[in-house]
Homo-oligomer: A and B are copies of this chain.
Amino acid sequence: MTGGSRLPHFADRLAALVEERRSRVVLGLDPDPASLWPEALERFGGGSAGGRFARANTAEAVVEHCRAAIVSAGPACVAVKLQLACFERLGAPGWEALEQTVAIARDHGLLVIADGKRGDVPVTARAYAQALVGETPGPFGPVAGLGADAFTANPLLGRDSLEPLVEAAAAAGAGCFLLVRTSNPGAVELQDQGDPPLHERLARLAHELGERRTGSSGLSLVGAVTGATQPALLARLRELMPRAVFLLPGVGAQGGRVEDLGAAFAPHPAAGLVTASRSIVNAYAERGGDPAAAAAAAAEELRNAVGGLSGH
Q: Which residues of B contact A154 (CB under 8 A)?
A: 117, 119, 154, 156
Q: Which residues of B contact A145 (CB under 8 A)?
A: 89, 91
Q: Is the CB of A198 within 8 A of B190?
A: yes
Q: Is the CB of B85 within 8 A of A142?
A: no
Partner of A34, one of B137, B144, B160, B249: B137
Alpha-carbon distance between A235 and B53 when the two chains are bound, in angstroms: 50
A88-B128, A117-B119, A194-B198 known; A160+B186 contact, CB < 8 A: yes
Greatest chain B CB density within 10 A among A137, A160, A190, A201 is at A190
Q: Which residues of B contact A50 (CB under 8 A)?
A: 140-141
Q: Is the CB of B186 within 8 A of A157?
A: yes
Q: Is the CB of A89 within 8 A of B131?
A: yes
**What is the oligomeric copy number?**
2
A248 proximal to B (CB < 8 A):
no
**Contact code string A14-52 (vs B, CB < 8 Å = 1, else 0):** 000000000000000010011010000100000111110
Greatest chain B CB density within 10 A among A30, A57, A121 is at A121
Which of A66-74, A177-185, A287-295 participates in binding chain B? A177-185
Q: Which residues of B contact A194 (CB under 8 A)?
A: 193-195, 198
Question: Closest CB-CB distance, A200 to chain B, in whole Å?
Answer: 11
Q: Is the CB of A121 within 8 A of B183?
A: yes
**Contact code string A149-188 (vs B, CB < 8 Å = 1, else 0):** 0000011111111000000000000000001001111111
A189 proximal to B (CB < 8 A):
yes
Q: Which residues of B contact A140 (CB under 8 A)?
A: 47-50, 53-54, 57-58, 61
A122 proximal to B (CB < 8 A):
yes
Q: Residue on B with the closest CB to A61?
A: B139
A205 proximal to B (CB < 8 A):
yes
Partner of A85, one of B47, B61, B120, B184: B120
Q: Which residues of B contact A157 (CB under 8 A)?
A: 179, 182, 184, 186-187, 190-191
Question: Closest CB-CB distance, A74 to chain B, in whole Å?
Answer: 22
Q: Is the CB of B91 within 8 A of A95?
A: yes
A143-B90, A155-B190 known; A83+B127 contact, CB < 8 A: yes
Question: Closest CB-CB distance, A118 to chain B, in whole Å?
Answer: 7
A211 proximal to B (CB < 8 A):
no
A88-B131, A190-B156 known; A136+B33 contact, CB < 8 A: yes
Partner of A33, one of B83, B125, B143: B143
Q: Is the CB of B158 within 8 A of A127?
A: no
Alpha-carbon distance between A175 and B186 when the two chains are bound, in angstroms: 22
Q: Which residues of B contact A51 (CB under 8 A)?
A: 141
Q: Shortest 9 CB-CB distances between A and B: which pairs? A: A158-B186, A33-B138, A160-B186, A85-B127, A89-B131, A50-B141, A194-B194, A158-B189, A54-B141
Q: Known A-B contacts: A85-B127, A119-B154. Give 13 more (CB < 8 A).
A: A33-B137, A33-B143, A41-B139, A49-B141, A50-B140, A54-B138, A54-B143, A88-B95, A91-B131, A117-B154, A155-B190, A156-B191, A158-B188
